[in-house]
Amino acid sequence: MARTRTTKSVAQRIDLNYFKRQTPYKRARLILVILAPLLALGWIAWRGLSRDSRVYSSGRMSGAHAVLEKQCAACHIEKAGEFSAKAADAGCLACHDGPVHHEEQVRAEVPACATCHVEHRGRVNIVASSSASCAECHANLKVAAGSLPYYPHIQSLEEGHPEIGARRPNVKDPGTILLNHAVHMKPIRRGPNGPLVQMECSDCHRPEGYKGSWPYADADYVDAKVTYEDKDVLVPVSAGTLQPRLVKARAYMAPVRFASSCAECHLLTFDKRFDTGVPHDKPEVVHAFLIKKFQEYIAAHPAEVRVLREPQRDLTGKPIPPEVRVLTPAQWVSERTADAEELLWRKTCKQCHALIQAPGSDLPKIAEARLTQRWMPHARFDHDAHRGFACTGCHPGALTSKETSDVLIPNLATCKACHAPGPEHAESRCFECHTYHNWAKRKEVKPTYLLPALQTGGR
Ligand code: HEC
Ligand code: HEC
Ligand code: HEC
Ligand code: HEC
Ligand code: HEC
Ligand code: HEC
Ligand code: HEC
Ligand code: HEC
Ligand code: HEC
Ligand code: HEC
């Protein structure tokens, strides 16, 4: 029999009630359609009643503000009964200060805190502001009055950032201590007759506040009080620069000291009658020390006022009998002092110092050491954060430099080898290396705000 396949017979196979019939799937969907909004509404109501406004929030708070997750009004200050959608600077400033950058800045207004410190982006570092927030001014920097002291077209570290000041052409190290790094980085004698040793950078350079022992220190010199002060030795950090919030204890290397790094090899001996050296101090102090030492000596050894003139030979080569001179003790002291000073000023001190003949004085002056404490006053740096890297990776010149005037600080290209965009590199946005707020202008803020959890307390 032939199969009859009419439209009707086909249509009869279709269940016309299909869309009305309940299936487990459709039942679940219906329940969901009704329940979900109910749940959502309930949740909002419940949150509203519990005064939790996180529902309106566009994301989690930064780590520093995690405790404020529910405290919208701390930042979104309530005005006329409504929260502002913008975070108000006044809110931020009620809890902590954010002092100005530079008074000279000429944008219509100081940028709002939230331009740089973004929120609701999850548990991020709220300090990590974008380079664009700085480039807003620094890509085309203008100052209110006078000429611009800084390079004005910086977009990013990669684009337009100038060289480190100390590494620009013709900049010299102003220091006057005549240290030849190359000589000391090769095997060298430990003292006049000592064995050969290989010195390391850390024999002379340690972070500020280092309390351990130094291999080439002389305890007598370390313990001695000196009459010159740090301000005589160090070049002051220029006042016009931004002051960081805090400088970590191990960020910078301490100035090199004769007592802790040179004294064991470079003896300040002055006369064969004594083992000890003169104090490492101003020539006046050395002079007074010499006179006292020789006076004490001649009092203890009165016979020595008889001095032999240096043995001389006549033309035939036969020694002539030495002439004996008998001095008063005062004459003896002044002759010995003059001899010792001749040696010290012309040879011993002069190996490391420039000596200046002061007019109207018999004693020379020691040139100010002028050791630089901050090579990059306009940027942050921290040796401790880079302690995994070899010193010579950043200071290769220290192995070959023969002149104190050489600058051994790295150039910006060295920084950029590691500080570059991308996850495999160290941070390269401005905030990593720069201070923005001038923390010298910081005002103490007494936070009046109490977390609700604490407000109920007070027993
Ligand atoms: C620590 C301060 C702080 C707290 C607390 C805070 N916010 Fe914000 N909020 C900001 C900042 C900063 C912005 C960035 C936008 C602006 O300020 O112009 C912002 C922006 C917003 C925006 C605008 C959307 C956006 O991402 O730009 C909304 C909506 C918002 N916050 C809601 C909330 C709610 C709701 C809460 C409480 C659950 C809250 N905020 C708590 C600082 C805060
Ligand atoms: C209710 C008080 C409060 C308000 C309002 C507030 N903060 Fe904070 N903020 C804190 C506390 C507490 C910390 C963490 C402690 C600290 O480092 O001082 C902090 C830390 C910070 C930090 C440092 C983060 C770090 O890692 O050290 C920055 C930057 C900051 N807040 C900026 C802001 C900005 C911008 C606003 C306004 C949008 C703001 N804060 C609003 C209390 C507040
Ligand atoms: C142009 C960008 C910018 C603006 C605008 C800005 N900040 Fe900052 N802020 C930074 C940078 C970069 C740092 C980290 C370097 C520093 O300490 O100056 C910082 C650091 C801070 C810190 C200290 C963080 C820490 O613990 O070291 C606080 C607190 C702070 N800012 C609060 C504020 C407040 C409050 C405002 C608004 C009055 C504000 N900031 C405006 C960029 C900015
Ligand atoms: C509102 C404009 C403005 C913004 C935004 C701005 N700066 Fe500046 N900045 C200036 C001005 C103006 C000067 C020059 C001041 C002067 O003449 O002494 C300056 C100077 C500097 C200096 C050199 C001077 C010093 O004292 O160390 C550095 C570094 C610097 N800014 C870094 C930053 C960083 C980093 C940011 C972003 C977090 C930033 N600036 C954002 C206006 C701005
Ligand atoms: C014998 C002690 C001694 C040793 C060892 C020594 N230095 Fe120095 N260094 C000094 C003295 C003294 C100064 C200050 C005089 C000067 O500027 O040359 C100085 C200055 C510096 C400076 C800053 C001055 C500038 O002109 O840039 C750097 C950087 C430096 N040394 C790095 C090193 C490194 C890296 C090593 C190891 C490879 C090293 N030094 C080994 C004594 C030493
Ligand atoms: C381990 C012993 C040792 C230490 C420590 C040491 N020196 Fe020397 N230094 C020597 C010796 C040895 C010479 C002579 C080398 C030569 O002329 O070949 C010398 C030479 C010098 C010279 C003359 C270099 C030249 O140009 O020929 C100066 C300047 C000098 N040292 C400065 C210092 C200073 C400053 C310190 C401390 C920061 C110091 N030295 C620490 C052993 C040392
Ligand atoms: C081996 C090198 C070396 C020799 C030799 C040396 N000094 Fe120094 N001198 C230094 C160093 C390094 C400093 C830096 C600061 C410190 O050690 O306190 C310094 C600093 C000084 C200062 C302070 C300078 C200032 O800026 O005010 C005086 C004064 C001084 N020395 C006197 C002397 C006298 C006097 C002699 C000889 C008796 C002498 N020094 C021998 C290395 C030397
Ligand atoms: C990897 C570290 C690093 C980063 C990132 C960085 N800088 Fe610098 N910046 C420096 C150093 C180092 C100096 C030299 C400081 C000195 O000579 O005192 C400097 C100098 C400056 C100066 C002074 C320039 C002058 O003419 O003397 C300004 C302004 C400046 N930077 C702004 C910025 C801005 C804006 C950004 C982000 C777009 C930025 N820097 C990013 C390290 C950095
Ligand atoms: C990542 C690069 C880097 C490394 C690694 C590094 N330095 Fe430096 N060093 C610098 C910079 C940048 C400065 C300039 C800091 C300033 O004064 O503003 C500096 C400054 C110095 C100074 C002058 C004093 C000071 O702190 O400003 C000495 C001395 C010095 N370094 C010695 C060393 C020694 C020793 C090591 C190894 C333990 C070392 N450095 C490792 C980059 C580096
Ligand atoms: C060999 C790679 C390397 C070089 C070269 C280097 N850095 Fe860094 N730097 C790092 C790393 C990695 C960190 C992160 C260290 C940390 O805080 O854990 C860092 C951190 C920093 C910090 C933040 C320190 C802190 O305490 O938060 C500053 C500022 C900085 N570098 C400046 C510089 C400057 C300026 C130069 C060039 C003179 C430079 N770095 C060269 C690898 C490098």
pLDDT of res. 42: 60
In ligand 10, the atom with minimum distance to the C-alpha of 251 is 26
* CA R_g for the chain: 39
Cα separation, 61 vs 156, whole angstroms: 27
∠ CA 241-246-247 to the nearest 5 degrees? 80
pLDDT of res. 45: 56
pLDDT of res. 321: 66
As for ligand 7, residues whose beta carbon falls within 6 Å of it are 177, 228, 232-233, 256-258, 262, 266, 268, 278, 280-283, 286, 344, 348-349, 351-353, 366, 368-369
Return the residue whose CA atom lies nearest to atom 32 of ligand 3: 98
> Which residues, other chains included, contact 15 with Cβ-Cβ below 8 Å and sequence gap of 6+?
21
Return the residue whose CA atom lies nearest to atom 3 of ligand 7: 352
- Name the CA dihedral angle for 149, 153, 159, 160, rounded to a multiple of 10 degrees: -40
Is 386 touching ligand 10 by the criterion CB < 6 Å?
yes
Tell me the C-alpha to C-alpha distance, in Å, between residue 203 and each of 16, 255, 262: 95, 12, 9
Quote the tokens at residue 273: 């009658």
Cα 68 to chain centroid, rounded: 32
Pocket test for ligand 5, best of 197, 198, 199, 204 (most atoms within 8 A of CB): 204
Full pLDDT tens readout for the chain, 459 residues? 456 667 776 667 766 676 666 777 777 777 777 777 666 666 555 555 455 555 556 688 898 898 888 888 889 987 777 777 788 888 899 898 999 888 766 655 688 999 999 999 888 899 999 999 999 999 998 877 778 889 999 999 999 999 999 999 999 999 999 999 999 999 999 987 889 999 999 999 999 878 788 999 999 999 999 999 988 899 988 777 788 888 888 899 999 999 999 999 999 999 999 999 999 999 999 999 999 999 999 999 999 999 887 666 666 777 666 678 899 999 999 999 999 999 999 999 999 999 999 888 889 999 999 999 999 999 999 999 999 999 999 999 999 999 999 999 999 999 999 999 999 999 999 999 999 999 988 888 877 666 665 555 433
Tell me the C-alpha to C-alpha distance, in Å, between residue 232 and each of 179, 223, 348, 363: 19, 19, 21, 19
Quote the tokens at residue 292: 């006292």
Quote the tokens at residue 360: 């109207």
pLDDT of res. 4: 63
Return the residue matching tokens 């990013």: 156
In ligand 3, the atom with minimum distance to the C-alpha of 126 is 24
Return the residue whose CA atom lies nearest to atom 18 of ligand 6: 183
Each residue of 306-344: b (16+ CB within 10 Å) or e? ebeeeeeeeeeeeeeeeeeeebeeeebbeebbeebbeeb
- Is the separation of the CB atoms in 143 and 101 below 8 Å? no
Return the residue whose CA atom lies nearest to atom 17 of ligand 10: 385
Quote the tokens at residue 90: 């006044």
Taking the centre of ligand 7 as the mean of its atom positions, its distance from the CA of residue 324, in whole angstroms, is: 38
∠ CA 435-436-437 to the nearest 5 degrees? 105
Quote the tokens at residue 12: 């009869």
In ligand 4, the atom with minimum distance to the C-alpha of 430 is 35
- Name the CA dihedral angle for 140, 144, 145, 147, rounded to a multiple of 10 degrees: -20
Pocket test for ligand 1, best of 56, 58, 130 (most atoms within 8 A of CB): 58
Taking the centre of ligand 10 as the mean of its atom positions, its distance from the CA of residue 416, in whole angstroms, is: 10
> 371, 385, 367, 352: which is closest to 205 by C-alpha?
371
Return the residue whose CA atom lies nearest to atom 2 of ligand 3: 116
Pocket test for ligand 4, best of 104, 107, 138 (most atoms within 8 A of CB): 138
- How far apart, in Å, do the first and last CA atoms of the chain sit? 98
Cα 329 to chain centroid, rounded: 56
Residue 76 C-beta-side C-alpha neighbours within 13 Å? 18
pTM passes above 0.85: yes
- Is the separation of the CB atoms in 224 and 184 below 8 Å? no
Return the residue whose CA atom lies nearest to atom 16 of ligand 1: 86
Count of other CB atoms within 10 angstroms of residue 258 = 19
- Name the CA dihedral angle for 121, 244, 143, 169, rounded to a multiple of 10 degrees: -110
Pocket test for ligand 6, best of 179, 184, 355 (most atoms within 8 A of CB): 184
Is 377 touching ligand 8 by the criterion CB < 6 Å?
yes
As for ligand 1, residues whose beta carbon falls within 6 Å of it are 53-54, 56-58, 65, 68, 70-72, 74-76, 85-87, 114, 119-120
pLDDT of res. 459: 36
Is 101 touching ligand 4 by the criterion CB < 6 Å?
yes
Say if residue 363 is exposed, middle or buried (CB neighbours under 10 Å; 0-12, 13-18, 19+).
Answer: middle
As for ligand 5, residues whose beta carbon falls within 6 Å of it are 173, 175, 177, 179, 181, 184-185, 199, 201, 203-205, 256, 261, 371, 391-392, 395, 398-399, 404, 406-409
